[in-house]
Amino acid sequence: MVPCLVDAHCHVSTMVDAVGCDKIRSNLDLALAGTASDVQRCVMSTNVYDWELLEPLLLMKQLDDEGPGINVSLGVHPWYCHLYQLDRSLSKVGHYRNCLKCKDEVQLMELVEQLPDPVDLSSYLSDERVSRVGCIGEIGLDKVFRLPQNGFLVSNNGTSLERSSLSNVRVEFAHQIQVFETLLKVAKGRGLPVSIHSVKCQGTTFDICKRILLDSEVNICLHSFTGTLDTVRLWLANFPHERLFFSVSCWINLKDWDSGAELLKSLPLQCILTETDCSVDSVSSQEQRQMLDSVLDAISRAHGISRTKAMDTVLQNFNRFLRK
């Protein structure tokens, strides 16, 4: 195996306007061309818009067997799950009324007006589409998420997500759970690995995964894990370590170096992956490498191994995660 960096969980920007999308496409080409040989990535999709930007990469991979170091993942992020409909008999308004909640009826209806027609989830997860991806993600649960004023998060000028103006509208947790469970079952049916987001609901995430995935072949990656060390131990005690991965990011897990080191020490080496969680089209390749390097550095210090050994191990783990 040629040594290379691993980004087990990254993104492309979410853009809805055509000009923005063109810009992302060219940035994406540049970013991938610049790092194709030395970074292996698993790029998440989170909604229909970023999926449209990612889909052409699947074709590239088909044409070039080596691929540009890209593995494309299909998912519905909890921040976008309201855009997906489980009951296709409902009207647009009926759907959004069901899955959104807000004390202020006027604010709720103003927001619903701006939202697109919901996408039917089971059609979105067609066999044809699922059979082409190597991973299901990003999926998961988020207890603190509120919708932005415009209805869903979009990237700001191709850079960061616009988070400034949040509304008081939330997604019903039951709807998040239904979407999450649907995607876990798709992964189980296909034996595909999953990349999971969980914020402020570690217990529920664990319980659902245990119920649906324990007796499966599915490899599980908990990305930028923010639960307690007790929760880490709970996962490790229940799931086979060969199937369980924690992908560690610089900007969330190593923001506080000491707690990042604690997390890394609590993880068996075979369960560790590295990630940026950034949009690869909006952050420079050099910066992406630096982020992955810092995590490798933290791994080698926490486990008392060389950087080369850390890099080797993460790459092996990544290949095991994706069953390559």
- Is 138 part of any known ligand binding site? yes
What does the binding site for Zn ion look like in residue numbers (CB under 5 A)?
Answer: 138, 277
Q: How far is the CB of 10 from Zn ion (least distance, A)?
A: 8
Q: How far is the CB of 106 from Zn ion (least distance, A)?
A: 33
Give the integer Cα–Cα distance in Å for 133 and 42. Answer: 10
> What would the DSSP string read from start to end of 122-142?
HHHT-HHHHTT-SEEEEEEEE
Amino acid at 290: Q
Amino acid at 167: S
Smaller CB separation from Zn ion, 50 or 277: 277
Three-class DSSP category at 136:
strand
Smaller CB separation from Zn ion, 45 or 300: 45
**56-76: string of b/e by CB count within 10 Å (b at 16+)?**
ebbeebeeeeebbbbbbbbbb
Smaller CB separation from Zn ion, 10 or 171: 10
Q: How far is the CB of 288 from Zn ion (least distance, A)?
A: 14
- Is 277 part of any known ligand binding site? yes
Smaller CB separation from Zn ion, 44 or 112: 44
Residue found under tokens 């991806």: 133
Q: Which contacts qualify for 100-106: CB closer than 8 Å, 24 or more apart?
A: 100/147, 100/169, 100/170, 100/171, 100/172, 101/169, 101/170, 101/171, 101/172, 102/167, 102/168, 102/169, 102/170, 103/168, 104/168
CA distances 295 to 186, 307, 313, Å, are 31, 10, 13
Residue found under tokens 């494309």: 72
- Is 256 part of any known ligand binding site? no
Give the integer Cα–Cα distance in Å for 246 and 202. Answer: 14
Give the integer Cα–Cα distance in Å for 316 and 271. Answer: 10
Q: How far is the CB of 142 from Zn ion (least distance, A)?
A: 11
Smaller CB separation from Zn ion, 7 or 138: 138
Q: How far is the CB of 73 from Zn ion (least distance, A)?
A: 10
Smaller CB separation from Zn ion, 42 or 108: 42
Q: 3-state DSSP: the chain helix, strand, coil percent, rounded to 5?
A: 50, 20, 30
How many CB atoms sit inside 10 A of residue 298's CB? 22
Smaller CB separation from Zn ion, 12 or 267: 12
Binding-site positions for a divalent metal cation? 138, 197, 223, 277
Binding-site positions? 138, 197, 223, 277
